[in-house]
Structure 1
Amino acid sequence: MEYNIRQAGLKDLDTAAELFNLYRVFYRQEDDYGKCKKFLEERLNNEQSHVFVVYADEKPAGFVQLYKLYHYIKLQKQWLLSDLFVHPDYRGKGLSVALIDRAKQWCDETGACGLMLETEKTNNIGNQLYPRCGFEYDGLHNYYYWWK
């Protein structure tokens, strides 16, 4: 299977929003393409995130979304790998690894020190994938959230 990865812009908004909506549904969120499209449009218009879409046999098959952060120890920019999704029809074909590799390349292109991510403890696929891709589990920190 041939694939290529392209950075998404506003011209790719419909495709990216469709994949983003499927990703959110995967995480037990309500199906809402319109809100997903608006959310991504705001991120892209304001350069608040970078989205890369993988196309397999010219069909959109998955995406990764990155947000800029800064690392307090390294005193450098880093990227939060916030969202990674491959459509179920294309899983098991190496596309997640290809998207992660593209995110690592983005670090090189932008002078960032690396990537960080979090995933649910129950995400068995991700919890096996990320160490295979060179990510180290950080058992020293607890992550807390405050929601308004």
Structure 2
Amino acid sequence: MTQTIIRPLRSSDRPAWETLWTGYLTFYKTSLPSNIYDTTFARLIGEDSQDYSCLLAVQDDQPVGLAHYLFHRHCWRVENVCYLQDLFAAPHVRGTGVGRQLIEAVYAAADAAGAPNVYWMTQQDNHTGRQLYDRVGSLTDFIKYQRPT
């Protein structure tokens, strides 16, 4: 079995990160202009990367998955909370534990930052992802609303 290493994003990872993030966006049937890619990558490796971060799952020196997460204040807690914004595993590694390892690495980063709560959202029909999420998280009763565009 191939070993998976979870590590922080590096500036030299831009091409692989872009491929993975494009795969994530495609999964959710969306696309973004290049300036969003540039801004997001700069944030992930920039000075504010302690609050907005990316972990990569790497096998045989090739990134095969990513997790974007950020910390923010919360009115119901003294501690910050952690939002796991994006999680993606390349199709050829799905079902091998990469997603679980990325989530557990985000849990560890949240613990290290003193943020005991980690949360994320997914689409209701993401059945494959939800099988994992049901094992590593607790489904809440909240429904998401947003401002119309």
Kept in 2, the 8 Å contact 1:2–1:56? The answer is: yes
Q: Distance in 2 between matches of 1:37 and 1:17?
A: 7
User: 1:136 aligns to what SS in structure 2?
Assistant: coil
Range with greater deviation from structure 2 (6-15 or 59-68) = 6-15
Give how far 1:108 is off.
1.5
**Amino acid corresponding to residue 20 of structure 1 in structure 2:** W
TM-score (norm 1): 0.88
Query: Match of 1:6?
Result: 7
Query: Match of 2:138?
Result: 136
Give how far 1:89 is off.
1.0
Query: Match of 1:15?
Result: 16
User: 2:80 aligns to what SS in structure 1?
Assistant: strand
Residue ranges of structure 1 left out of the alignment (5+ in a row): none
- CA deviation map 1:90-144 (0-9, x unaligned): 11110000000100000111111220111100110122211201x11111x3321
Give how far 1:70 is off.
2.1
Count of paired positions: 145
Q: Distance in 1 between matches of 2:58 and 2:10?
A: 15
Give how far 1:37 is off.
3.1
Q: Distance in 2 between matches of 1:86 and 1:28?
A: 16
Are residue 78 (structure 1) and residue 81 (structure 2) matched? yes
Query: Match of 1:95?
Result: 98
Cα 1:80–1:58 shift into 2, 3 Å:
same
Question: Sequence identity of aligned pairs in percent?
Answer: 23
Query: Match of 1:117?
Result: 120
Q: Distance in 2 between matches of 1:100 and 1:121?
A: 19
Q: Distance in 2 between matches of 1:123 and 1:19?
A: 18
Query: Match of 1:25?
Result: 26
Q: Distance in 1 between matches of 2:41 and 2:148?
A: 23
RMSD: 1.8
Residue ranges of structure 2 left out of the alignment (5+ in a row): none
Kept in 2, the 8 Å contact 1:13–1:37? The answer is: no
Q: Distance in 2 between matches of 1:22 and 1:36?
A: 15
